[in-house]
């Protein structure tokens, strides 16, 4: 007795596999994170993120032109703030001539069509490395949300297309949406980090921006009072649905690979685009294993990115974006 249906017929050669492939990666899937630093002529490799760099504004302009020519048309900006400009209230974030504001304008001047999203968070500006204002050992929620709304308006006025609050304060999406509307910035979008977990995978990113929580008395040693417990699943749906109700246009799950079940859960439940962030620790692990010869770098990169899209992500924020486009040919 022979089987009437042989699934292997559809795997016989590369041509038929290409024809029936369900998930296709393209440059349009990617959001490219970029790290910006003060100075001129600076392209500084991040030690824990091989082949990834902090860029001064002159290099930033050249980088976005290269990305555009590769078919990568969306960037997510982060800034490394000098220590002398940091304080507990993130005051520098509202500077109209601050690094983020100048970075936005640099990108738009160099490549007007580039979609610019900006990190809206206090930790790069905080003397304590937290995503909120610290008082009596606590992270203040409502005061922080109001400040993030002001920061979002500043980014939008500088030319940002989307603001991307990554802090996980309760109610901050509503505060931001109302602030943008009050300023007449009705076309500025919000990509909310809706399900951002308290993960051990963020270490290299915090190296890149020097934004890790500081170990001092009366300051929380980690971000577990606002970022989500990685054991929780239904909480992610609740957070995401609340953000959409408050005005989020795009929702994000962060990190990526260990949270693809969450990506699928959210994709099945919501009607807005879903983003996933393949974070710095995920990037660093592939780089380190490939350097040791333990993994095929290119094969693993494409497998992971495909898995993220297959799970339901419409947008993938990844440090591998340029690598992926080159591999796609």
Catalytically active residues, by annotation: 196, 254
Residue 70 tokens, joined: 């590769």
CB-CB contact of 74 with 92 (8 Å): no
Residue 212 tokens, joined: 């890790």
CB-CB contact of 270 with 245 (8 Å): no
- C-alpha–C-alpha distance, residues 122 and 167, integer Å: 8
Q: How far, CA to CA in Å, does 237 sit from each of 31, 176, 244, 261?
A: 23, 21, 11, 11
CB-CB contact of 119 with 127 (8 Å): no
Buried b (16+ CB within 10 A) or exposed e, 54-71: bbbbebbbebbeebbebe
CA 273 to chain centre: 14
CB-CB contact of 263 with 285 (8 Å): no
- C-alpha–C-alpha distance, residues 103 and 90, integer Å: 18
Give the pairing of strands 115-120 and 74-80: parallel
């Amino acid at each position: 007795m022979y089987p009437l249906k042989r699934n292997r017929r559809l795997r016989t050669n590369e041509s038929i596999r290409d024809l029936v492939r369900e998930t296709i990666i393209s440059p349009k899937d990617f959001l490219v994170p970029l790290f910006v630093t003060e100075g001129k002529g600076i392209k500084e490799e991040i030690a824990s993120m091989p082949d990834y760099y902090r860029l001064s504004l002159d290099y930033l302009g050249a980088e976005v032109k290269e990305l555009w020519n590769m078919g990568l048309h969306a960037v997510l900006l982060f800034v490394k703030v000098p220590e002398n400009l940091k304080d507990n209230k993130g005051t520098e974030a509202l500077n109209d001539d601050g690094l983020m504001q100048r970075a936005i304008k640099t990108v738009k001047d160099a490549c007007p069509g580039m979609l610019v999203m900006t990190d809206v968070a206090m930790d790069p500006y905080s003397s304590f490395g937290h995503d909120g204002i610290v008082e009596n050992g606590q992270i203040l929620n409502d005061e922080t949300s109001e400040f993030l709304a002001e920061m979002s308006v500043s980014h939008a006025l500088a030319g940002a297309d989307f603001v991307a609050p990554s802090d996980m304060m309760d109610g901050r999406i509503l505060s931001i949406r109302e602030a943008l509307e009050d300023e007449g910035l009705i076309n500025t979008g919000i990509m909310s980090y809706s399900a951002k977990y308290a993960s051990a995978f963020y270490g290299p990113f915090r190296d890149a921006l020097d934004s890790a929580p500081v170990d001092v008395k009366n300051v929380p040693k980690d971000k577990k009072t606002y970022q989500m417990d990685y054991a929780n699943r239904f909480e992610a749906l609740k957070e995401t649905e609340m953000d959409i109700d408050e005005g989020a246009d795009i929702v994000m799950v962060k990190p990526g690979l260990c949270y693809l079940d969450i990506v699928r859960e959210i994709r099945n439940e919501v009607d807005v685009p879903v983003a996933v962030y393949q974070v710095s620790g995920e990037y660093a692990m592939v780089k380190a294993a490939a350097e040791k010869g333990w993994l095929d770098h290119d094969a693993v990169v494409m497998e992971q990115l495909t898995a993220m899209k297959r799970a339901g992500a419409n947008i993938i924020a990844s440090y591998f974006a340029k690598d992926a486009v080159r591999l796609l040919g």
